[in-house]
Structure 1
């Protein structure tokens, strides 16, 4: 019994040291990215001062709900970090395919886009934890969401919801229809596949829109009848 206890304690000590080492390494990487690219507050100010910046209160409710449903349905409840994804990143040192699986929170995606870190690796994933926590501690959920839709790639060279709304539909974001909101919400997952630039891409985007609407039904933002009506609407009106 004592031998088992000693083994257990040894494992606990090793794990504790390993986690502490990873946390320290992640913080060092956090400082490195900040030094190379700029502080989080500086990058946020640059986005907010852009002529194309759209405030949260100018975003359609359907766009907000559609984006949250398909990208991060617990966005308004969590602390900004996908801990399962973080564990995958650590375990990817054993099996690299694990790093390619799973998603990130909207907060983590915002940090990734602010720092231009589009290829996941362990250094970034560990640093990303600190960036996400800093975002959540300094900005409200509405501010984080607005920043996200202002920096995300909507395909066809459109960065941010204003460029996408104007480029695809000739509209301000506030004037988007429910059909347009739900199809735009699906584009950022794979922008070059879902961008509305060809008949084939639009068909793919419509399939993605169906998934967005299904998610909105699942998370009680819409009932099935409403979802079906939105799906049947033309996105070009």
Structure 2
């Protein structure tokens, strides 16, 4: 009986290994096909050529800080993939029996915006990883963050920070207040849920999470947080 169990265990391990290898190979192929059709530099230039593209140094300083704090606080330390975030996502997904958590970094999200669909498949996630590594080899962290901010979806048909700021606040992003920065930074996580024109109460709750993340990462003090939320 023990030999039977050992044989079954070995067979199960083999199946898992072959499945993982298969997904890895398919993900690599998806990545290669994507970048062969549209090169990394070409895809990046398409984003930069869009109307309203806003360089990082023209944004209020708090906005990119808020994005990193709430979305990917180890952004400046990882190489495009965050093992800690992936481990956390795997644990959550195992507990819930879903793919609710992705563990994607800002670089992976940029890769998805440039090349892939929103469909939650392991093959696509692997392709994202290869593309993220490619982006990290070619561009600085600030360039990647700038591209992300200018390409992410903010709900209500708004893509990129300029379109979102004009659409929600009627102003260019250079003119956003700290209150508006923290409100908008929380939207891309779930645009259909956190768009301030759709669910103002949920948008405010998400804004509180953004502000708390800024406090946790030492970007602002608790007093500054209270002033921001009060619109001061």
Q: What's the TM-score once normalised by structure 2's chain length?
A: 0.84
Residues 150-169 of structure 1 correspond to what in structure 2 (within 5 A)? 150-169=150-169
Aligned length: 219
Counterpart in 2 of 1:183? 183
Q: What's the TM-score once normalised by structure 1's chain length?
A: 0.82
Counterpart in 1 of 2:122? 122
CA shift at 1:40, angstroms?
A: 2.0
Change (3 A) 1:39 1:76: same
Does the CA-based 8 Å contact 1:76-1:141 persist in structure 2? yes
1:130-152 deviation per Cα after TM superposition (whole angstroms, max 9, x unaligned): 10000100011111001001111
Structure 2, unpaired ranges of 5+: 1-9
Residues 3-152 of structure 1 correspond to what in structure 2 (within 5 A)? 22-35=23-36, 38-83=38-83, 85=86, 97-152=97-152
Counterpart in 2 of 1:206? 204
Give the SS at the match of 2:150: helix
Change (3 A) 1:95 1:226: closer
Is 1:222 the counterpart of 2:220 in the alignment? yes
Return the alpha-carbon distance in structure 2 between the equivalents of residues 178 and 87 of structure 1: 30
Return the alpha-carbon distance in structure 2 between the equivalents of residues 98 and 74 of structure 1: 25
Does the CA-based 8 Å contact 2:88-2:103 persist in structure 1? no
Return the alpha-carbon distance in structure 2 between the equivalents of residues 99 and 208 of structure 1: 21
1:37-66 deviation per Cα after TM superposition (whole angstroms, max 9, x unaligned): x22221111001112211111121110111
Structure 1, unpaired ranges of 5+: 1-9
Return the alpha-carbon distance in structure 1 between the equivalents of residues 145 and 177 of structure 2: 19
Return the alpha-carbon distance in structure 2 between the equivalents of residues 230 and 88 of structure 1: 31
Return the alpha-carbon distance in structure 2 between the equivalents of residues 40 and 214 of structure 1: 35
Return the alpha-carbon distance in structure 2 between the equivalents of residues 188 and 95 of structure 1: 25
Does the CA-based 8 Å contact 1:99-1:120 persist in structure 2? yes
CA shift at 1:210, angstroms?
A: 0.5
Give the SS at the match of 1:99: coil
Superposed structure 1 runs of 4+ greater than 6 Å apart: 13-19, 86-89
Provide the alpha-carbon RMSD of the alignment.
Answer: 2.8
1:12-59 deviation per Cα after TM superposition (whole angstroms, max 9, x unaligned): x969887665543332221123345x2222111100111221111112
Counterpart in 1 of 2:231? 233
Return the alpha-carbon distance in structure 2 between the equivalents of residues 163 and 230 of structure 1: 23
Return the alpha-carbon distance in structure 1 between the equivalents of residues 88 and 215 of structure 2: 30
Return the alpha-carbon distance in structure 1 between the equivalents of residues 27 and 194 of structure 2: 34
Return the alpha-carbon distance in structure 2 between the equivalents of residues 159 and 228 of structure 1: 29
